[in-house]
Copies of this chain bind each other. A is one copy, B any other.
Amino acid sequence: MRINANYLRLEDSYLFSSIAKKVAAYQKEHPEREILRLGIGDVTLPLCDASVAAMASAVREMGTEQGFHGYGPEQGYGFLRMAIAQYYQSRGVLLTPDEIFVSDGAKSDLGNFPDILSLDNTVWIPDPVYPAYVDSNIMSGRKIQYLDANPENHFLPMPVRNRKMDIIYLCSPNNPTGAVYDREQLRQWVDYALANGAILLFDAAYEAFIREPDLPGSIYEIEGAKKCAVEFCSMSKTAGFTGTRCGYTVVPRELIYEGASLNALWLRRQTTKFNGVAYIVQRGAEAAFSPEGRRQCKRKIDYYMENARIISNDLDEMGIRYTGGRNSPYIWMTCPCGRSSWEYFDLLLNRAGIVGTPGSGFGANGEGFFRLSAFGKRENVEKAMERMKTRM
């Protein structure tokens, strides 16, 4: 029996585990010092009341003969897919529930979706980027090319006419850079994909953080996108579901390649290799899309965006350049004094006890940059920025 040798080409250590090791070593050396975490993008506020109430009720149901739910549809219950379709409708995008696939989160689907696409396709991935796009495609042995994102293009790479791209990952609002494509830029991507038979894998996990109403939160706000784009969404950040696990992927029925419906192929993939999301969790997710749930989630997002405002203002005050923070929970700053990402990581940890994420962990173009996240508790964010202003 032979192993998949592609796995041996993966880089040894994962970004966040390297950070965890450095932080543990620092904490061991300085047990008395308080560490403030602006690193990994995990949320800190509890689930909204509507979701908690709905899940409590679903748990009670599962303990009764009448209310018990066994196997559900792998692609998600109709009640949740309908709620998600209504959420899209409220933003001007019409989808039918059978175009929506409920999953345990965007990361799984972003990594697994290429299962239904040929191994011969060339995959284009922005650099810097969320590491899972790259790793999952290394595992399958696909040829990977990078789309340079840098200060010149405001970290928003655009299509180049003479390049033949098959599969293109886009993420907007972007993780890690916080940059957001505008309507005209996304239109160019859609036009490119339609003209070249390419597919866009659009990661919209952070759409709920967009504040400027003119910026598109869904690729389907662009005409023609249903013929060339899959959209991956997450409830992790929008409804605090990082530990509750629920996301959804939109595969329009109009997506036809080589005569095959990607919607049908993905349904087949999911019913064969995925078990679906717990009934209890889907009830919690449905509640987060109710009018009351949306109001409650919005208040939590507002809280995080106020953190982002505080961080941005203080960086402005310190004269540090950055992107993001206005329509995204991430602030992507230039490391001061030309420092490398890991140099700045060590300095920030040792001088100020602050943990951030080195930009180089997201790709070669991330070198010299640093990611701060707005998901902390207010007092910690304020304390961290105060330390940054006084100790750095």
Residues of A within 8 A of B (CB): 1-5, 7-8, 10, 14, 40, 42-47, 49, 52, 55-56, 59-60, 62-65, 67-72, 104-105, 107-108, 111-112, 115-121, 132, 135-136, 139, 166-167, 197-199, 240, 242-245, 247, 257-258, 260, 262, 265, 268-269, 271-281
Contact = CB atoms under 8 A, between A and B. Distances in A.
B55 A260 contact: no
Give this chain's copy count.
Answer: 2
Contacts of A46: 62-65, 67-68
Contacts of A167: 1
Nearest to A247: B275
A1 B70 contact: no
A275 B3 contact: no
Contacts of A247: 275
A55 B45 contact: no
A154 to B, nearest CB: 27
A279 B243 contact: yes
Contact of A275 (B105, B197, B275, B276): B105
B68 A243 contact: yes
A273 B112 contact: yes
Contact of A59 (B52, B64, B197, B276): B52
The 3 closest A-B pairs by CB, nearest first: A52-B63, A111-B273, A105-B275
18 contacts: A1-B118, A1-B197, A1-B198, A2-B117, A4-B115, A4-B116, A4-B119, A5-B118, A7-B265, A56-B56, A56-B59, A59-B280, A69-B243, A107-B272, A107-B275, A115-B139, A244-B280, A245-B277
A72 B243 contact: yes
A117 B1 CA distance: 8
Contacts of A260: 3, 7-8
Given A1-B117, A1-B167, A2-B166, 13 more contacts: A1-B257, A3-B117, A3-B265, A4-B115, A4-B265, A45-B65, A46-B63, A46-B67, A52-B60, A52-B62, A59-B280, A68-B240, A278-B278
